[in-house]
Structure formats: structure tokens, C-alpha cells
């Protein structure tokens, strides 16, 4: 009888959602997952901005991948010239591990993906919003230390692939991204 009920339930679902609506069903599931992620992100990050939390959840950031969010500036710098050099990738992953992001963790896995495929620009924009919101939660000393850490990691990645054969250690594209990061951190009072 249970098999009969399950068959009828599936038939009803197919009738309710025609095959052409498969993407709609998927969108509903994703929206539900994003909505469920917001409270956990709020608690893990301490951020109260509901719109920002929804954008982060929409970009795939979850409480268990929040640590990867701290590495977005180094990913952005590494992709500044349109490609990820193997030395940059290694520097990012080593830096992540030294920051406590363990290999095999969800954050490390997400970070590895970002080093293989360039993230959408929306991720970098969301990071800037995240850092601005976080800046309001920190005192001046904490903001300064955070800015030093972020810019130091980003500069180390930028220098990882440069400096060979008389080239500058930081490419012009990477320098522009570093300047943009500095401005974003200045806007929060962190730099």
C-alpha cells in the first residue's frame, strides 16, 4: 500500500509540476535552502543585515563555509590577470591552512573550487558588503589588525607568481585589486 501511495504522490507531483517546470522546482528548493542558511549565517558571523545575509546565502555561503569568505580577497587578487597561477593557488591553500581552514573541510573545498574556476564578480561585491558590515562590529584596533591581515595575505598571493625574469613582483592588475581592497577596508575604518 505504501508503494501505491508513493506512486500516486509522484504522479500528482508530475501533474502539478509539468516537466517544463523542473527548473522551477529546483529554484524553489534552492530558495528554501538559502532561507534556511540565513539564521545560521547570522549566528556564525554576528551580522544582522538581513539583505546581506540573504545575498551571501544566495552565493552558496553557509555557516560551515563562512571561513572561506575571509579568503575571497586573496582569490580576487590571484584572478586579477584573468588566470590562476599554480604558485598563487598553492599560496592560497597554504594560507588557508595556516588560518585554520583544514583540508577536507567545506570551507577548504569551496576555496579549492574558487582557485579552479573564477568566481562570479557578485562574490567579490558581497565580500565588500560583508567586510563593511563586519567593520561596524569591531573596534578600531580590531579593524586595523583585520585590514593588515587581509592586505598582507593578498599581497603575499600577488607576489607568489611575480618577480621572475626581472618582472615586478605584483602585476598592474593585481596592484589595482590591492588598491581596491585597501579602499574597501578604508571605507569601514579598518585600514
Q: What is the mean pLDDT of residues 150-168?
A: 75
Say which residues have a Cβ less than 8 Å from residue 93's Cβ, sequence separation at least 6. 103, 108, 111, 112, 115
- Report whether pLDDT(141) > 80: yes
The pLDDT value recorded for residue 112 is: 93
The pLDDT value recorded for residue 19 is: 56
Say which residues have a Cβ less than 8 Å from residue 38's Cβ, sequence separation at least 6. 50, 53, 54, 57
The pLDDT value recorded for residue 15 is: 58
Cα 151 from Cα 135, distance rounded (Å): 15
Q: What is the mean pLDDT of residues 36-50?
A: 81
Q: How many CA atoms lie within 13 A of 123 on its CB side?
A: 21
Going by pLDDT thresholds of 50, 70 and 90, the confidence category of residue 166 is: very low
* Domain total of the chain: 1
The answer to whether 78 and 118 have CB atoms below 8 angstroms apart is no
- Report whether pLDDT(118) > 90: yes
Cα 132 from Cα 150, distance rounded (Å): 13
The pLDDT value recorded for residue 38 is: 87
Cα 156 from Cα 74, distance rounded (Å): 9
The pLDDT value recorded for residue 30 is: 65
Tell me how crowded residue 131 is: count the other CB atoms within 10 A of its CB. Answer: 23
Does residue 28 or residue 150 have the better pLDDT? 150
Q: What is the mean pLDDT of residues 160-165?
A: 62
The pLDDT value recorded for residue 165 is: 43
Helix (H, G, I), strand (E, B) or coil at 46: coil
The pLDDT value recorded for residue 99 is: 82
Average model confidence (pLDDT) across the chain? 81
Domain coverage including residue 60? 2-187
Cα 3 from Cα 171, distance rounded (Å): 63
Does residue 30 or residue 42 have the better pLDDT? 42
Question: End-to-end CA distance of the chain, in Å?
Answer: 67
Amino acid at each position: 500500500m505504501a508503494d501505491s501511495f508513493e506512486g500516486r504522490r509522484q504522479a500528482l507531483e508530475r501533474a502539478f509540476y509539468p516537466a517544463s517546470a523542473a527548473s522551477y522546482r529546483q529554484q524553489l528548493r534552492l530558495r528554501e535552502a538559502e532561507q534556511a542558511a540565513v539564521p545560521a549565517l547570522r549566528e556564525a558571523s554576528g551580522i544582522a543585515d538581513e539583505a546581506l545575509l540573504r545575498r551571501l546565502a544566495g552565493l552558496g555561503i553557509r555557516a560551515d563555509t563562512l571561513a572561506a569568505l575571509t579568503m575571497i580577497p586573496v582569490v580576487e587578487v590571484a584572478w586579477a590577470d584573468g588566470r590562476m597561477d599554480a604558485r598563487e593557488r598553492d599560496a592560497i591553500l597554504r594560507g588557508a591552512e595556516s588560518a585554520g581552514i583544514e583540508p577536507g573541510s567545506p570551507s577548504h573545498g569551496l576555496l579549492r573550487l574558487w582557485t579552479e574556476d573564477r568566481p562570479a564578480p557578485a562574490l567579490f561585491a558581497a565580500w565588500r558588503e560583508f567586510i563593511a558590515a563586519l567593520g561596524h562590529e569591531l573596534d578600531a584596533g580590531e579593524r586595523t589588525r583585520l585590514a593588515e591581515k587581509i592586505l598582507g595575505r593578498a599581497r603575499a598571493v600577488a607576489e607568489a607568481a611575480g618577480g621572475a625574469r626581472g618582472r615586478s613582483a605584483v602585476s598592474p592588475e593585481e596592484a589595482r585589486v590591492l588598491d581596491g581592497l585597501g579602499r574597501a577596508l578604508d571605507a569601514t575604518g579598518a585600514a
